Amino acid sequence: MRLVLLGAPGSGKGTQAARLKTALGVPHISTGDMLRAAVAAGTAMGLKAKAVMDAGQLVSDDILLGMLEDRLAQDDARAGFILDGYPRNLAQADALDQLLAKIGQPLDAVIKLEVPNEAIIGRCEIRFKAEGRADDNPDTVRKRLAIYAEQTAPVADFYARRGKLQVVDGVGELDQITIRIRQALQNEAAAAG
């Protein structure tokens, strides 16, 4: 299963991907987690990315593509993957298409978790208090939501035009949301024959 999870920051992509990975038997690949690991490790790339991330902006497409290409080349990704946080703009969606065509692993499904902005702001405030992520402070969350609307929302349209997008309600009990996603994946598989 090769799946992209789309959705605004705080829409629950990471939480749901972590739940789905065991059931689907594929790794959860979060570009945000990979960048945070690079920051924590103090690599040159991490140092460069940190200021951009803390400001709620997007890290450069080149860095992201290189990182993703290396990750998808690892053994565990041969069985498939759940991509969380990539692609975040149209250039990345194109780059992903080309990369997956090159390695002969086209996407099976794209799921967008839909959560209203007011709920997102509340969830990020809770995460900010619990985890202390600098980019979860309320001002930065508003900036990230604006970037999402401007740059990432068109990615959902890009997949919708190809009949690949399924929109799932991301509000409610975690178990219910997981069930909705699995149902959407089954619908996709049935439609693909």
Residue ranges binding ligand AMP (CB under 6 A): 9, 31-32, 35, 52-53, 56-59, 64, 85-86, 88, 92, 135, 144
CA distance 78 to 132: 34
Beta strands in the chain (DSSP E): 2-6, 28-30, 81-84, 109-114, 165-169
Q: How far is the CB of 189 from ligand AMP (least distance, A)?
A: 26
Q: Which residue is nearest to ligand AMP (CB)?
A: 32
Measured from the CB of residue 128, what is the shortest distance to ligand AMP in angstroms? 13
Q: How far is the CB of 24 from ligand AMP (least distance, A)?
A: 19
Q: Is 113 helix (H, G, I), strand (E, B) or coil?
A: strand
> Which of residues 16 and 31 has its CB atom nearest to ligand AMP in the complex?
31
1 or 35: CB nearest ligand AMP: 35
Nearer to ligand AMP, 15 or 105 (CB): 15
Question: Alpha helix (H) ranges present in 87-165?
Answer: 90-102, 117-131, 138-147, 153-161
Tell me the CA end-to-end span of the chain in Å, nearest whole number: 14
CB of 89 to ligand AMP, least distance (A): 7
To ligand AMP, the closest distance from the beta carbon of 177 in angstroms equals 18
Considering the complex, state which of residue 85 and residue 188 has its C-beta at the smaller distance from ligand AMP: 85
Q: What is d(CA 27, CA 41) in angstroms, rounded to the nearest whole number?
A: 21
Min dist. Cβ of residue 36 to ligand AMP (A): 7
Secondary structure of residue 60 in the 3-state scheme: coil
Q: For ligand AMP, which is the closer residue by CB, 24 or 67?
A: 67
Helix (H) or strand (E) holding 40: helix 31-41
Give the nearer residue to ligand AMP in terms of CB position, either 56 or 170: 56
d(CA 119, CA 96): 30
